[in-house]
């Protein structure tokens, strides 16, 4: 039983179990309860507000990362709602943890950081070496309106892809986007559409951006709230804030008794939480003592994007193996962790064959000690089938399972659903 002490305004939890720490993180990230069956467009916006940022990635072996991370929490929903929210300026794109969709309400916070810190060496190197071309691209947007990178043809006729092979106009667009001169007004077939900041947000004035001290304080609090509980290194990583500023801000919040100190079994460092998040978790736990929810995660999901946090919280060591040479991959190309009843129990290498309407689980590897029984098979097949249906690839098939003796149980459950 956790010991709770009251110090000044807020109670300080002296000790909690690792299981409680996991559940608190899962609650804060929106995984405590199963999704309801009638997700609305407003749920997409609320989910992103809760997380603070939704990471973007272009890999589409399955649905791209931001769409998949929403499905993990909401279940069946219309993926185009995310595109609509961006086009409506309810969201904006910028660098947070990485490239992310961010609630428009937080634009001022990130704009202040953008103003102060955006001149990274490689961007400045691009501009210094191609000033005339970069200025010409910005002038083109000012004169002709919003553009996509594909509107500019490569002089060499090649098709660029990775960032080091970008055509000069793409680099110019990214430079002006990073500086804040351009914003992403919408996406068309996932391609960014760039336009002037003053056309995307005509009422914004940079003088409205808060000062840096306020920005750091607000983003530190938002990151702790989104993670449920956090040690100092996790806080810096969530929005990629300067560690020195995070430690300074955290020290101030602690001195104000603004945070709950959590002593997690087996951890040397204290973790910190917001009282309102802890109280919300306690309320959820009274209604449902343990999370009963099975879902699949994108490797870029904010629950697990910090691999050190994932390892410490879940004893789950995870690597995105698609960036490794094939010979060095242990589990597969594009691995999706499986979250079941509050624990990461497996990783699966999957692909949606959209043209053939098939959803392939190439391999499914369970963590040591997982009870691979009939009930688990039923939960997994139900979840995999729902994911396949949302991908419009409804025919589910599993190629490989470890442990191999669980393969037949899974196949039986698939057959029963057909």
pLDDT in tens, 136-179: 999 999 999 999 999 998 665 555 554 455 799 999 999 999 99
Quote the mean pLDDT of the chain: 93
pLDDT in tens, 90-121: 999 999 999 999 999 999 999 999 998 876 67
Q: Does domain 7-105+209-287 have CATH number 1.20.1250.20?
A: no
State the helix-helix crossing angle for 107-117 and 212-227, rounded to 10 degrees.
120
pLDDT in tens, 27-70: 999 999 888 778 999 999 999 999 999 999 999 999 999 999 99
* Per-residue confidence (pLDDT) for residue 6, from 0 to 100: 39
The average pLDDT across 293-304 equals 97
**pLDDT confidence tier of residue 4, bands split at 50, 70 and 90:** very low
pLDDT in tens, 350-404: 999 999 999 999 999 999 999 999 999 999 999 999 999 999 999 999 999 999 9
Long-range contacts of 184-190 (CB under 8 A, 24+ apart): 184/86, 184/92, 184/93, 185/87, 185/146, 186/83, 186/86, 186/87, 187/83, 187/86, 187/87, 188/148, 190/58, 190/60, 190/64
* Per-residue confidence (pLDDT) for residue 158, from 0 to 100: 59
pLDDT in tens, 303-341: 999 999 999 999 999 988 888 888 889 999 999 999 999
CA gap 337, 316 in Å, rounded:
9
pTM above 0.75, yes or no: yes
> Among residues 179, 26, 36, which one has the least CA distance to residue 111?
179
Q: In which region does residue 392 sit, left (phi positive, over 0), alpha (psi from -120 to 50) or beta (all else)?
A: left
* Per-residue confidence (pLDDT) for residue 157, from 0 to 100: 57
Domain ranges of the chain: 7-105+209-287, 106-208, 319-417
* Per-residue confidence (pLDDT) for residue 3, from 0 to 100: 44
* Per-residue confidence (pLDDT) for residue 417, from 0 to 100: 83
Cα–Cα–Cα angle for 159, 163, 164, nearest 5°?
A: 90
Full DSSP string of 25-70: HHHHTT-SSPPPS---HHHHHHHHHHHS-EE-----SSS-HHHHHH
> Among residues 123, 139, 98, 120, which one has the least CA distance to residue 174?
123
């Amino acid at each position: 039983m956790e010991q709770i002490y009251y110090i000044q305004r807020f109670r300080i939890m002296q000790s909690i179990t690792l299981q409680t720490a996991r559940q608190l993180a899962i609650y804060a990230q929106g995984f405590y309860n199963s999704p309801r069956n009638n997700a609305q467009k407003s749920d997409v916006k609320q989910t992103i507000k809760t997380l603070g940022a939704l990471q973007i990635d272009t890999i589409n072996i399955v649905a791209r990362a931001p769409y998949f991370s929403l499905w993990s929490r909401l279940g069946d929903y219309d993926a185009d709602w995310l595109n609509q929210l961006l086009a409506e300026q309810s969201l904006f794109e910028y660098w947070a943890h990485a490239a992310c969709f961010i609630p428009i309400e937080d634009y001022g916070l990130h704009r202040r950081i953008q103003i102060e810190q955006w001149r990274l060496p490689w961007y400045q190197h691009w501009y210094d070496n191609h000033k005339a071309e970069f200025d010409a691209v910005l002038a083109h947007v000012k004169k002709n309106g919003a553009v996509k990178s594909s509107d500019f043809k490569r002089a060499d006729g090649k098709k660029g892809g990775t960032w080091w092979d970008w055509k000069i106009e793409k680099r110019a667009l990214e430079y002006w986007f990073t500086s804040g001169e351009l914003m992403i007004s919408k996406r068309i077939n996932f391609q960014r559409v760039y336009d002037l900041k003053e056309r995307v947000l005509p009422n914004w004035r940079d003088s409205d951006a808060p000062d840096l001290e306020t920005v750091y304080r607000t983003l530190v609090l938002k990151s702790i709230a989104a993670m449920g509980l956090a040690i100092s290194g996790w806080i810096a990583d969530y929005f990629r804030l300067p560690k020195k500023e995070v430690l300074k801000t955290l020290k101030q919040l602690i001195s104000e008794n603004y945070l709950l100190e959590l002593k997690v079994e087996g951890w040397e460092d204290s973790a910190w939480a917001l009282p309102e998040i802890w109280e919300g978790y306690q309320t959820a736990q009274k209604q449902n003592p343990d999370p009963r929810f099975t879902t699949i995660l994108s490797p870029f999901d904010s629950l697990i994007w910090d691999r050190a946090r994932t390892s410490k919280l879940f004893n789950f060591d995870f690597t995105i193996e698609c960036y490794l040479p094939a010979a060095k991959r242990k589990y597969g190309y594009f691995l999706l962790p499986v979250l079941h009843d509050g624990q990461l129990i497996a990783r699966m290498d999957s692909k949606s064959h959209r043209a053939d309407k098939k959803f392939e689980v190439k391999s499914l590897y369970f963590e040591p000690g997982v009870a691979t029984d009939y009930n688990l098979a039923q939960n997994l097949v139900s979840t995999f089938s729902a994911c396949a249906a949302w991908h419009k690839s409804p025919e589910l098939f599993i190629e490989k399972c470890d442990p191999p003796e669980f393969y037949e149980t899974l196949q039986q459950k698939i057959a029963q659903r057909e």
